[in-house]
Amino acid sequence: EIVMTQSPATLSVSPGERATLSCRASQSVSSNLAWYQQKPGQAPRLLIYGASTRATGIPARFSGTGSGTEFTLTISSLQSEDFAVYYCQQYNNWPLTFGGGTKVEIK
Amino acid sequence: EVQLVESGGGLVQPGVSLRLSCAASGFTFISYAMTWVRQAPGKGLEWVSGISASDESTYYADSVKGRFTISRDNFKNTLYLQMNSLRAEDTAVYYCAKSSGSGYRSDWYFYYWGQGALVTVSS
């Protein structure tokens, strides 16, 4: 099983600042990596797939980079609606696996 | 508009069975792989099971293999998760989600999710 490790667990950021979230895979997942945003009481929302392709309707302030084992989600200028938990997910190997999540909170 | 509506959750005792359903609409159900993902209270996301489109290949997390069975009825546009021998650690909100394609490796990310069904396993 591929273990996905996200860091940090919690990120405190002021509105308007840049947020950088990391996701590391225990073995290569190529570019088969997705990012999701989840707010309390809601289902996850797809942000990025293929490591760097924004999903339909996702603002340009969200960007994904990386391949192999190291991935980054960057939110260029945090808006109030961006405070949430973010998960990465690999879909290169079975079983599919999610990272433990990064909570982005208001500083 | 794509809609996924889960049903069948509830409070059950350890060891019993439960079947979740996910009614799909707004897309050609038979053309897409589907999956179940769960989230224990206050915890992260855990992939549970997936089923490809028409050929119905199935995949399971080790934590549920041998106890859970995923299936689909392409005439009723419905996805199922039969859960047997339930344990306290199966307590979670169970989401069904639509894959981006029929089930190739690159398809298994999820644009559309249901609202979730809560399963509580407790004596």
pLDDT in tens, B59-100: 999 999 999 999 999 999 999 999 999 999 999 999 999 999
The pLDDT of residue B54: 77
pLDDT tens track for A66-91 = 999 999 999 999 999 999 999 999 99
Question: What is the per-residue DSSP string for B44-94?
Answer: -EEEEEEE-SSS--EEE-TTTTTTEEEEEETTTTEEEEEE-S--GGG-EEE
- Interface probe, candidates A91, A102, A103, chain B, greatest B C-beta count within 10 A: A91
**Residue B55, pLDDT above cutoff 70:** no
Is A68 in CB contact (< 8 Å) with chain B? no
Mean pLDDT, to the nearest integer, of A21-31? 98
Look at residues B65, B76, B86, B89 and name the one whose alpha carbon lies nearest to residue B19.
B86
The residues that bridge with A86 in the sheet, in sequence order, are A37, A102
Which carries the bigger pLDDT value, residue A44 or residue B104? A44
Question: How confident is the prediction for chain B on average, in pLDDT?
Answer: 96
Q: Is A101 on the interface with B (CB under 8 A)?
A: yes
Q: Which residues in chain A are closer than 8 Å to B47, comparing Cβ atoms?
A: 89, 95-98
Interface test with B, best of A96, A97, A98, A103 (most B CBs within 10 A): A96
Q: Are B122 and B62 in contact (CB under 8 A)?
A: no
